[in-house]
Chains A and B, each alone.
Chain A
Amino acid sequence: MKATEIAEKVLSGEMSARSVVEQHIEIINNIESDVNAFNLVTAEQALIDADEIDSKIASGETLGPLAGVPISVKDNLCTRGVETTCSSKILEGWKPPYDATVIEKLKEAGAIIMGKTNLDEFAMGSSTENSAFGPTRNPHNLELVPGGSSGGSAAAVAAGFSPLALGSDTGGSIRQPAALCGVVGVKPTYGRVSRYGLVAFASSLDQIGPFANTVSDAALTLEVISGHDPRDSTSIPEKPLDISGVLNQGVEGMRIGVIEELSGKGLGGFSQDVVSRVEEAIKVFSNAGADVESASVPASIYGLSAYYVIAPAEASSNLARYDGIRFGPRTEAATTAETMTATRTKGFGDEVKRRIMLGTYALSAGYYDAYYGKSQRVRTLIMNDFAKAYEKFDILISPTSPTTAFPLGDKTADPMQMYLQDVCTIPSNLAGHPAMSVPFGSGEDGMPVGIQILAPAMAEREMFQAAKVLESESGKGIE
């Protein structure tokens, strides 16, 4: 059932929050052992929270727009007193002494947290295989990956464990798993949603966003979690978004550009079936009255290279805090320095070690200008090229991922092949722009394909209007 329908029925008394939560726990009990979407299911607390919602409704209290709606949250979002691991041994057993701002906002809105979802360790990966607690599997085909790094959140929504989930997106970690699992996934404008309480990976790129089965559910969730937060100094001083009011306004007269560099004509590695779905999406938009043309963002092809310098550089610095001194497990050794090294060596997985070393290298004195400095300049180029494209277009589109879901183990031995999964999504993170993935048909293998809709900074409303149009025609067999 849709989140908006659940909230409506709970608020009107037609359904109790407890019955909603019980139904979802039953689905989790039936298939979670196959999917492994969760690091932790908080079923007991969810029932307590549901009873509280029901008693508030009985006593006539006013409740928020997500009253009684189950939601799963990525395990890199701090939840007070509830284990938050980032799927890393280095945080195993760690219970944060505070809630992330988004968790506070969800609770205020009446949402019920079902558990903490699996991810690639510290959100570093594109398949949710780099987890210390085992991989998550794609609910549509258990032999395939769900994408990543927010693969647990995408799988939780696709499997029906909860109609909503939260993830984080540094280079595509919401949009790519959304595409591979056939759900809606949104990366808002950088600063739109507070990062307070999101365990930092690459601070200038990280952004929290929603997963949902429908565009309108994703819009409602983003409305709830957006807005200024003084506890995040990069938070944009704006009111929470109002998207629902414009959601059905359509795309008549909208200027839509198809990014040629990222749609199979520039960079290689795109499956033909994914490219075909983009061509069908173009027809949908044209039929709905939009003016669709080819667009060029030339520097976008350098996004991957710049990202795999900038993100590891920021990560190497952010992850210096995991030293076994103040929190998390410690591996004892003779001195403090040896304790830190032993704790980090034992606690971090291979991909995290790779990226810490890559970032340490990129920031080291002899290579700083050649790698980090240059990448920051390329970041500006990408922003400039987007700005030029947005002089002609209101929104842009591309595939979300170059392929549909791939088999477990397919890319784990070759990190560079895994990184190429994010080629379409990374440019929006570097620019700080909003982008979302909308399910649109399937590939030859029957697995879902996602279309990415990109918009200029702060233009989430136009992005959602287009998403709604695309959703309404998805799976209809476009002529």
Chain B
Amino acid sequence: MARLAQLALSEDELDAFTSQLAAVLDHAADLEALNVDDVEPSTHPFPLKNILRIDEPGESFDIEEVFEVAPDIEESQFRVPPILGEA
């Protein structure tokens, strides 16, 4: 799970988290006894559907402000370490 979530954990952390998460899942086991096969799932509390905005250009963020808080930029682009192979 840690790998899927892009987190690197030490052996000690893995042990601690495993038992803590097991406790939460144990608590959630009370749901197992419920028969909800005939109940529809809810993803959202309010019945709004297909909310689209009018397709016209609006005001955008100030690009200077966006780059000011970026970790690394080069010529108006975000700079990242190599993705594949050698740099």
Contact = CB atoms under 8 A, between A and B. Distances in A.
Interface of A: 80-81, 93-98, 189-191, 204, 230, 233-234, 236, 302, 304-306, 308-309, 316, 320, 323-330, 332-342, 344-345, 348, 350, 353-354, 356-358, 360-361, 364, 371, 373-381, 383-384, 414-416, 419, 430-433, 457
B42 A309 contact: no
Nearest to A230: B53
Contact of A344 (B7, B21, B81, B82): B7
Contacts of B20: 354, 414-416
Interface string B1-43: 1101111110000000100110111011011101010011111
A234 B80 contact: no
Nearest to B36: A377
Main secondary structure of the interface of B (DSSP, over half): loop
Contacts of A419: 24, 27
A416 B28 CA distance: 11
A126 B4 CA distance: 27
Interface residues of B, number: 46
B85 to A, nearest CB: 9
A145 to B, nearest CB: 19
B75 interface: no
Contacts of A358: 21, 24-25
B40 A190 contact: no
A416 B25 CA distance: 10
Chain A CB within 10 A, most for which of B2, B7, B78 = B7
B6 A344 contact: yes
Interface string B67-87: 011111000001011110000
Contacts of A204: 43-45
A330 B27 CA distance: 36
A336 B81 contact: yes
Given A357-B5, A371-B25, A375-B31, 20 more contacts: A93-B69, A95-B65, A97-B62, A97-B66, A190-B46, A234-B51, A302-B31, A306-B28, A325-B78, A326-B71, A328-B71, A336-B83, A357-B1, A357-B21, A358-B21, A360-B5, A377-B40, A378-B34, A381-B34, A415-B23
B70 to A, nearest CB: 6
Contacts of B2: 353, 357
A191 B6 CA distance: 32
B53 A335 contact: no
B45 A354 contact: no
A431 B83 CA distance: 43
B4 to A, nearest CB: 5
A95 B68 contact: yes
Given A353-B17, A374-B31, A81 B80 contact: no
Nearest to A372: B41
21 contacts: A94-B69, A97-B66, A97-B68, A230-B53, A323-B6, A327-B71, A328-B69, A339-B80, A341-B6, A344-B5, A354-B20, A354-B21, A360-B5, A371-B25, A374-B32, A375-B28, A377-B36, A380-B36, A381-B34, A414-B23, A431-B45
Interface in B44-64: 44-46, 48, 51, 53, 61-62
A185 to B, nearest CB: 19
